[in-house]
Structure 1
């Protein structure tokens, strides 16, 4: 049996589900793209190739092996994108909460059923279809649960809006002892530089007291100021719209000391090392073309 335990984003990782790029299917039609960045690369003829994405994920897998992390992989479904395991479920404390994912992606949860079968069923939580959240929008820090959402009246028309207020309130009820704080994120179906697909696309804590942040990812400046006050401005690494687009905030922590980052993120990686972090660099630029990076393709099950 897997004994789930995730209290935060940065404690020592023991077990994780890492997505797979194997048999991820043909290049999607432009009208089937789920986000503006994928659409851009489909149009430009630069959409990532399966072999390149498989190689990138294996590079990440090798880092996990180096740190003795137990890695689970989804069963491979033919011609199906299963890279972003963070979207389909997430763990808070000892509970695994299944997301209500975009209908086209429902098979992804079936591919990890063999893992779910080893978890106490009392700790696997499902919701009704009108409650929306994805793991990229849910982030744990001390006694807080940070949740990215979108409060615009056009929520139903915005394919990049993945977590609604019903989702936020569901988490509030499930964890009455935590402080649940939602953040209203900037969304765009068409402009990838003005679209925070999930909270982890514009913010993420690293180590014990630092974080990466993109101010313009928040619709409400008060939400940004809340994080500045909580972390202290000197502890925040601010990223530009272009750096957000490249997914600078979507790194992944193996521990409070070790951060896995994309090898081209020179400015960020230099800052992390200056703060005393060990930075494990991997190539992930092809996967980034689908508007997701390291945090998006991992789903921690156990952190110490």
Structure 2
């Protein structure tokens, strides 16, 4: 039996589902692109190839193993992208919540069913159909649950809008003792530099009291100011539009003082080291072409 426990983003990781790039399938067609960054690379002929992505994911797996983390992998689906496990489910406290994801990604949940079967069925929740929510938009900070959403009246026309206000209300109802705060994110179907696909594309806590943030990822300055007030401006590393595009806020914490980061994030990695973090640097630039990085590839199940 898996005893789930996740209260924040940075406590010592014990068990995680890491996606896989094996049998990833051909480069998608233009009409199959889920996000503007993938589209950009499909059009440019620079979309990542399977063998490169497998190498990157195995490097990540190796770091997790180095820290004695139990790593689960999805069962393989033929010719299918299963890299981003963060989208398909998430854990809050000891509850596993299945995401209502884009319908053609439903089989990704089936591929981790063998893991879900190890969880007490009473601790597994599937929201009703009208509730849209993905793990990349859900961020835990002890008593707080931060949720990325999109409040525009044109929500339905945005494939990049993944979590709706019904999703926010669902979490509020499920966890009445938590402070649930939603953030209205900037979305674009055509320019990846102006698209916060999920909350972790423009914000993520690190350590005990720090965070990485992209101010222009929030539609309302008040939402940005909320985080500044909570963390303190001096504790927030502000990234640029280009750094946001390269996914600098999507690193992954193994412990409150250990992070896995992309080796090209020079400015961020130096700041982390200056603030006492151990930075495990790996190459992950090919996977980032699909508008996802290290946090997106993981689904934490147990943190101390």
**TM-score bracket relative to the smaller structure:** over 0.9
Match of 2:79 in 1: 79
Match of 2:185 in 1: 185
Shift of 1:129: 1.2
2: CA distance, partners of 1:85 / 1:253: 16
Match of 2:26 in 1: 26
Match of 2:288 in 1: 288
2: CA distance, partners of 1:129 / 1:135: 16
Match of 2:159 in 1: 159
Q: How does 1:1-304 map to 2 (within 5 A)?
A: 1-304=1-304
Gapped regions of structure 1 (runs ≥ 5): none
Shift of 1:105: 0.5
CA displacement 1:188-226 (0-9 Å, x = unmatched): 010000000000000000000000000000000000001
CA displacement 1:53-95 (0-9 Å, x = unmatched): 0000000000011000000000010000000000000000000
Shift of 1:142: 2.1
Tell me the secondary structure at the aligned position of residue 8 of structure 1.
coil
Shift of 1:128: 1.3
2: CA distance, partners of 1:116 / 1:232: 38
1: CA distance, partners of 2:78 / 2:32: 18
1: CA distance, partners of 2:106 / 2:190: 24
Tell me the secondary structure at the aligned position of residue 177 of structure 1.
coil
2: CA distance, partners of 1:263 / 1:205: 19
1: CA distance, partners of 2:268 / 2:173: 37
1: CA distance, partners of 2:282 / 2:102: 29
CA RMSD of aligned residues (A): 0.4
- Equivalences, count: 304
Gapped regions of structure 2 (runs ≥ 5): none
2: CA distance, partners of 1:49 / 1:25: 9
Tell me the secondary structure at the aligned position of residue 128 of structure 1.
coil
Tell me the secondary structure at the aligned position of residue 296 of structure 2.
coil
2: CA distance, partners of 1:208 / 1:185: 25
Tell me the secondary structure at the aligned position of residue 28 of structure 1.
coil
Q: So what's the TM-score if we normalise by structure 2?
A: 1.00
2: CA distance, partners of 1:127 / 1:230: 29
2: CA distance, partners of 1:127 / 1:269: 37
Tell me the secondary structure at the aligned position of residue 254 of structure 1.
strand
